[in-house]
Amino acid sequence: MRRLTYFIMLFSVTNMCWSAGGDGRMMHVDVDLSDKKSLQRGARTFVNYCLSCHSAAFMRYNRLGKDLNISEDVLKKNLMFGTDKTGDTMTVALNRQEAEKYFGVAPPDLSVTARSRGADWLYTFFMTFYRDPSRLTGVNNRAFKDVAMPHVLWELQGWQEPVYKEVINRHGNITRVIDYLEVVAEPVDKPTPYQDEDYERTVRDLVNFMVYLGEPVKLERKTIGAWVIAYLLVLLILVYLLKREYWRDVH
């Protein structure tokens, strides 16, 4: 029993550390896989800003078009820049050895990142890039400290800089920590007028699409699951009535 208690405590602490990431301030995002427009916008952002370095090797373009109601012509014209075959997967031409040379690590495949990290972590990650001159890329991230990835969406968000505050730790020492981030340079690629909500919606759509990438059949699975449960409930009633009929004479 004691071992089981220790295991539960260790598992809980591990999950808390994993969920917190960075400085522990996780932002929440509501995803809706039934929102096809959001998924289409997210696919556009993913292809234009992510697919140049990151692959999604478990997703095929024709499956993407079918699920998101995108015609083959639109798919080829706007989302397929590395191939002309709709049956191909979403891979990139970036050489892993060159990527490790430039970034220090090869960019990971993003097919199941939303499942391993979670939607909230991804949203926090895209929202909390900030300038850091000490880094080779010139930026850092609150959700992923010392991240090797540059801020590829800076033209949409603008530049953020950290505002620090002083805190006293348990040893009585004063340290400077990031209190919040503030935008100090306006976006370059922006409609007029541009508001913070526009970038937030862009990130929300991107995260929504990445959640879809992690499990394209999620909505279908839930629908099938509901029908299966309903079938089993009806079957349970029939079996119970049949049992009563068979055992009526015995009782």
Q: What is the mean pLDDT of residues 73-99?
A: 86
What is the sign of the dihedral through the CA atoms of 139, 144, 145 and 147? negative
Domain count, the chain: 2
| Residue 14, in any domain of the structure | no
Q: Is 178 a residue whose pLDDT tops 70?
A: yes
What is the value of pTM for the model shown? 0.78
> Taking Cα atoms as reference points, which of 142, 122, 116 lies closest to residue 131?
142
Q: Are residues 205 and 247 in the same domain?
A: no
Q: Is 186 a residue whose pLDDT tops 90?
A: no
| Residue 56, in any domain of the structure | yes
How do beta strands 139-141 and 159-168 pair?
unpaired
- Greater confidence (1 vs 213) lies with 213
Q: Are residues 121 and 135 in the same domain?
A: yes
Q: Are residues 144 and 234 in the same domain?
A: no
Q: Please say whether the beta carbons of 64 and 70 come within 8 A.
A: yes
* Sequence-distant (≥ 6) Cβ neighbours of residue 163 within 8 angstroms: 178, 179, 180, 181, 182
Task: State how far the Cα of 219 lies from the Cα of 238, in Å rounded to an integer.
Answer: 29
Q: What is the pLDDT of residue 24?
A: 59
How would you label 168-183 residue by residue, b for 16+ Cβ within 10 Å and e otherwise?
A: eeeeeeeeeebeebee
Q: What single DSSP character describes residue 135?
A: S
Is residue 22 very low, low, confident or very high in pLDDT (cuts 50, 70, 90)? low
Q: Are residues 211 and 246 in the same domain?
A: no
Q: Please say whether the beta carbons of 14 and 190 come within 8 A.
A: no
Q: Are residues 166 and 226 in the same domain?
A: no
Is residue 23 very low, low, confident or very high in pLDDT (cuts 50, 70, 90)? low
DSSP 178-243: EEEEEEEE--SS--SS--HHHHHHHHHHHHHHHHHHH-TTHHHHHHHHHHHHHHHHHHHHHHHHHH
Is residue 11 very low, low, confident or very high in pLDDT (cuts 50, 70, 90)? very low
Q: Which domain holds residue 242?
A: 217-251
Is residue 196 very low, low, confident or very high in pLDDT (cuts 50, 70, 90)? low
| Length reported for the chain | 251
Which amino acid is it at 222? K
How far are the Cα atoms of 123, 156, 199 from residue 202, in angstroms, in the given order? Answer: 10, 9, 5
- The end-to-end CA distance of the chain, in Å, is 43
Minimum mean pLDDT among 11-25, 119-133, 197-211: which range?
A: 11-25
Q: Are residues 129 and 247 in the same domain?
A: no
Helix axes 196-214, 119-127, angle to 10 degrees: 140
Q: Are residues 114 and 199 in the same domain?
A: yes
| Residue 58, in any domain of the structure | yes
Q: What is the pLDDT of residue 45?
A: 95
Q: What is the mean pLDDT of residues 161-174?
A: 86
> pLDDT tens digits, residue range 141-157?
999 999 989 999 999 99
> pLDDT tens digits, residue range 44-77?
999 999 998 899 999 999 999 999 999 999 999 9
How far are the Cα atoms of 35, 63, 135 from residue 69, in angstroms, in the given order? Answer: 11, 10, 41
The enclosing domain of 122 has a CATH number of: 1.10.760.10
Q: Is 4 a residue whose pLDDT tops 50?
A: no
| Residue 9, in any domain of the structure | no
Task: State how far the Cα of 84 lies from the Cα of 81, in Å rounded to an integer.
Answer: 8
Which amino acid is it at 183? V
Q: Is 16 a residue whose pLDDT tops 70?
A: no
Q: Are residues 123 and 221 in the same domain?
A: no
Which amino acid is it at 24? G
State the chain's mean pLDDT as an integer: 84
